[in-house]
A and B are shown apart, each in its own frame.
Chain A
């Protein structure tokens, strides 16, 4: 992949050389564990959620039965309300560790619209590498922070659907029960879109998968 010719203009430190055994790990163990537990939880939430959606579709389509788990609405609900605990507790652990270790600040900040735009343009011209798992370009930063924020929105809108009476302030914030259903669906769609791009990027740059498995 061609190296970026725009790196001189970058407002943040230049990327180091491609990961090598002598350099610090790209992803510490806690991060890798959180990532893979989250991958399992998200897969269970998506596939069971699609079956729940199918019981009363919001829009004029249904998800194919083969892409869902649970077998029927009751089974899908059991999966959804079991996997939610994994998603939430793992997510909270990830956020706490990210902030406490400073990883969030180091990896994702600074992040400005101008940076995202400039890196997006170079990415589309094939001039942006994301081959070094220890450094994220602005588009990656935006995508990862966006995925975390989107998961938070999924949990918040999900809480409204689960407990519209007990979480009444959250319900009002979401614009009511029916709107919360739409928010939950749209946030799911955004997450699914992220996963598609994320997996495509991993296929294009397999060493990022190795880094998420082995740490470097």
Chain B
């Protein structure tokens, strides 16, 4: 698409997203972010601690983040629905966001694509797009909230994920559902959220098949979670009791990441 160095004019939204992507590319490594974090306010507040003792602070903050996961799981009411909006409220075009730039969006061949379902499930057969389209569908217009603070309203349609899990005979008492994606992204969610009535294996956006930028052929849409818990280009789903982590979660984003 756009080659480096080519002069281009960006819309305000594109410019903001481009800046954000550039920032993502120059992220300091996970090990160094806390050492770098001890600036003005931090120094003043932590003058009693060794500033070079970043690993201690980092592990304390990670421990609190895991505690926050448990608090959030306790706060989560599986029957409480995210607010739904009308067609008038939909953000068009829906903003693109990923850990890579828009010029690296994967083009997946939907005819050859198959969804793997593994782990604690009875039926481990693979699924084609036609198989998924043959299941009962649902659609919701909900707000997608990014961890950065911005939000956008979109209409997503597809297979209710709870019904899908029951259909494949998943162990609904398992702790985690993990996702591996064709863009090398990965994430995982708690079973309560997987079974939430609005959680959808999305095949459509705005009533049409997903575009590559939306995560074609399959995206998980969870209105009760932040954007980074909504994986695109899903290739495999697995049910497990072993903590699977996630692309951003392994770098420090909160694992529960939901509202």
Q: Please give the residue numbers on chain A whose beta carbons come within 8 Å of chain B beta carbons, in ascending order.
A: 40, 43-44, 46-47, 52-53, 55-56, 58, 65-79, 81-82, 85, 161-166, 168, 171, 177-178, 181
Given contacts A75-B252, A78-B64, A81-B68, is CB(A165)–CB(B41) below 8 Å? no
Total A-B pairs, Cβ < 8 A: 120
**What are 6 A-B pairs with beta-carbon distances under 8 A?**
A52-B148, A56-B148, A75-B252, A77-B147, A163-B72, A165-B224
A78 touches B62 (CB 8 A): yes
The 8 closest A-B pairs by CB, nearest first: A47-B41, A74-B252, A71-B33, A71-B37, A56-B148, A55-B148, A71-B36, A56-B149
On chain B, the residues within 8 Å of A47 by CB distance are: 39-42
Could you list 16 further interchain pairs (A-B, Cβ under 8 angstroms) beyond the known A47-B39, A56-B150? A43-B44, A44-B45, A56-B20, A56-B146, A66-B40, A69-B40, A69-B42, A72-B33, A77-B252, A77-B253, A78-B64, A81-B65, A165-B80, A165-B259, A166-B75, A166-B76
* CB atoms of B80 and A78 under 8 A apart: no
Does the CB pair A165–B81 fall under 8 Å?
yes
Closest to A45 in B: B41
Q: Which residue of A lies closest to B41 (CB)?
A: A47
- Report B131-164 residues with CB < 8 Å from chain A CB: 143, 145-151
When the two chains form their complex, are residues B37 and A70 in contact, meaning their CB atoms are under 8 A apart?
Answer: yes
In this complex, what residue of A is CB-closest to B42? A69
Q: Check A69–B37 contact: CB distance below 8 A.
A: yes
Q: Across the interface, do A70 and B253 meet the contact criterion of CB distance under 8 Å?
A: no
CB < 8 Å neighbour of A166 from B28, B60, B77, B148: B77
Query: B38 within 8 Å of A by Cβ?
Result: yes
> What is the minimal beta-carbon distance from B201 to any residue of chain A, in angstroms?
20
Whether A53 pairs with B149 at a CB distance below 8 angstroms is yes
Residues of chain B lying within 8 A (CB to CB) of residue A52: 148-149
Q: Does the CB pair B151–A77 fall under 8 Å?
A: no
Interface size, B (range): 35 or more
A162 vs B224: C-alpha distance in the bound complex, in angstroms?
Answer: 11
Residue contact A177 to B145, C-beta cutoff 8 Å: yes
- Does B82 interact with chain A (Cβ within 8 Å)? yes
Tell me which residues across on chain B come within 8 A of A181, comparing CB atoms.
149
The interface centre, meaning the residue of A68, A70, A79, A165 with most chain B CB atoms within 10 A of its CB, is A165
Which of chain B's residues 25-50 have a Cβ closer than 8 Å to chain A?
A: 27-28, 32-42, 44-45
Q: In the complex the two chains form, is B39's CB within 8 Å of A67's CB?
A: yes
- In the complex, whether B211 has a CB less than 8 A from a CB of chain A is no
> What residues of chain B lie closer than 8 Å to A65, measured between beta carbons?
39
**A67-B41 contact, Cβ under 8 Å, with A74-B33, A162-B259, A164-B259:** yes
Query: Nearest Cβ distance between residue B236 and chain A, in whole angstroms?
Result: 25
A55 adjacent to B65 (CB under 8 Å): no
Residue of B nearest to A84 (CB): B68
CB-defined contacts of B145 to chain A, threshold 8 Å: 164, 177
Closest CB-CB distance, B145 to chain A, in whole Å? 7
C-alpha gap A70/B258 in the complex (Å): 21
Provide the residues of chain A in CB contact with B80, threshold 8 Å. 165-166, 168
Query: What A residues does B60 contact at CB under 8 A?
Result: 82
Chain B residues near A168 (CB-CB < 8 A): 80, 83
Taking a contact as CB atoms under 8 Å apart, the answer to whether A71 and B28 are in contact is: yes
Closest to A164 in B: B259
CB atoms of A165 and B45 under 8 A apart = no
Min C-beta distance of B97 to chain A, whole Å:
10
